[in-house]
Amino acid sequence: MSYCPFFQTLYDETRPVGNLGRGTHYSVLRVPTWHDEFLVPLQRGAFLDFAIIWDEDHDERLIDAIQILYLGGLLAPVRYIGERKGSLVVLLDPDVVQAWNGSALNEYRDKVDDVAQSLEDPWTVTVESADGDQHSIINSSPEKVSIYLKNIDVLWQLGVKPKTKTELPPAFGTQH
């Protein structure tokens, strides 16, 4: 299934699988990006693979939020995104959360909150590290959620690809 013309669907579960949470299932999408996980511009475009964690209602309004995040240049640090009980949950690359100081992370949260409030049905927002246990992307124990998310990452190696070292081009007029 194609959710959006900007995104390539790599994997798509359209209904609940197994017994985790309340109807948990997921999709993996790929999108071109011109920023690394830290939102630093890349010299060349790359691809970002991220997972949508669906609950039982497979609420595709989530795609609107993802598109706005993408067009706003805010999607590159995202590893998992989902909606549960009227809340948008955005789980970021753990290295990003660790590297950003508190004000950078709060600024990012505020921008995601602005996106969530701009939707036809505004949502509350949670932005956390993908390896944290304080989020509620799935209604289950933190241990089970952690294993589920790690398994998705093992299968799909989520993130910006290829992994690149961000290098700024030489200043105009300088010699190599």
pLDDT tier at 166, thresholds 50, 70, 90 = very low
The CA distance from 98 to 42, in Å, is 21
Q: Which contiguous run of DSSP H or E holds residue 97?
A: helix 94-99
Burial class of residue 126 (count of CB atoms within 10 Å of its CB; 0-12, 13-18, 19+)? buried
Answer whether 29's CB lies under 8 Å from 50's CB.
Answer: yes
What are the tokens at 58? 């497979």
**pLDDT score, position 135:** 76
pTM: 0.88
pLDDT tier at 24, thresholds 50, 70, 90 = very high
Residue burial 25-47, b: 16+ Cβ < 10 Å; e: rest: bbbbbbbebebbbebeebeeebe
**pLDDT score, position 27:** 96
SS (H, E, C) 69-80: HHHCCCCCCEEE
The CA distance from 45 to 158, in Å, is 16
